[in-house]
Amino acid sequence: PDPLIKKVKEDLKNKKVNKWGNTNGLIDSSNGVVNICVAKPNIPRALRFMDTFIKLIKKRGHHIEFNNGTCVVINDEYLKIRFREVS
């Protein structure tokens, strides 16, 4: 896995389910790592998807930054991304 995915995996490992707000029943990653918000059983699937996505972004010469969320930087344009399970 990409180092960014290893970091978010470690972050999500010890998280508890959020019972408040608009992410009721989901686990939300911390700031400074890839933005993922899913139910606990879906964490491996979300990590695999984001790992593939990040590898493709990097292969095309773009990069990921954490500027008030997770952003893909393409030709100096910042696009916010978030992997979120609909609940």
Per-residue pLDDT tens digits of the chain, which is 87 residues long = 999 999 999 999 888 776 665 566 788 898 999 999 998 899 999 999 999 999 999 999 999 999 888 999 999 999 999 999 887
What is the spatial distance between Cα 55 and Cα 4, in angstroms, rounded to a whole number?
A: 10
CA angle 65, 22, 16 (to 5 degrees): 75
What is the spatial distance between Cα 53 and Cα 61, in angstroms, rounded to a whole number?
A: 13
Per-residue tokens: 58: 């990097």
Whole-number pLDDT of residue 72: 96
Name the residue range of residue 74's domain: 3-84
Q: Provide the whole-model pTM.
A: 0.86
Whole-number pLDDT of residue 23: 60
The number of domains in the chain is 1
